Structure 1
Amino acid sequence: MATVAGIARHPRSKAPMETLERAHVTLEGGIVGDFRGAMKGKPYRRQITLMERADWDAAMVEVGHAIPWEQRRANLLVDGLDLPQTPGVRLRIGADVVLEVTRETDPCERMEALAEGLRAALTPDWRGGACTMVITGGVIAVGDTIRIEE
């Protein structure tokens, strides 16, 4: 069963990431209090970013480090799910929240500042994660189930 393994947000550009046990998700702001989710533009296609735990772990092995997942600056760490690599696929998190995959999350130069070779380690096969936009808001929590909507 796929689950939310972690939730993180940052209030402004380059601010440290804050990990949470629960978060409110809105159509207008993504994860409430997160800088990226509240960006302007319609539709904004990078409200919430998701990353697979297995992909982060593989990248850490590749670069020989043990950096906390939130340093990737993704909003949600997912466990037990191969994230869909197709824009338009919808994911239901918990009872209410629905996110739509919009594109791959491209690893940025900040990853090289964390560990040499990390940007390259996150590049293949959408290893850096998926960007999504909010379709239906609600509350999410660590441990919530995630499923692909048919």
Structure 2
Amino acid sequence: MQLTPVIAIHLAAALAAVAIGPIALWARQGATQRPRLHRAAGYAWVTLMVATAVSAIFITGGPGPRWGDFGLIHLLIPVTLGMLVLSFIYLARRNLVGHRKTMQRIYVGACVVAGAFTLLPNRHLGHSLWSALGVA
């Protein structure tokens, strides 16, 4: 698999989301809260997560069981988009605890865990990384 424009968009959006997510989460923690920073970083993060999920629809290939062009990893697309919607429903209902927990879970699941899986040697990014380091 080569680095196509769709994969480049997906990769750039995902890496930016991994970087911006902690800023949005941190800005509302502790005694000193930063609501403007939280909101700005949060909207940027949500936009990046939507771009990551939508671009993933157009990425095919990879090992494992398949349903047409889609693999198991594609199940994260509706889960991520659905949880983003749910987090804004919580926010509209002023359920800040539900909003916070949902956003934290999306970050851990979609950014940290899914991101770690992309570094496996049989995945495109993982293969590129480990080959460049001389490990694989």
TM-score normalised by structure 2 residue count: 0.26
Structure having the higher helix fraction is: 2
TM-score normalised by structure 1 residue count: 0.24
Structure having the higher strand fraction is: 1
Q: Which has the higher contact order (CA 8 A, sep 6+)?
A: 1
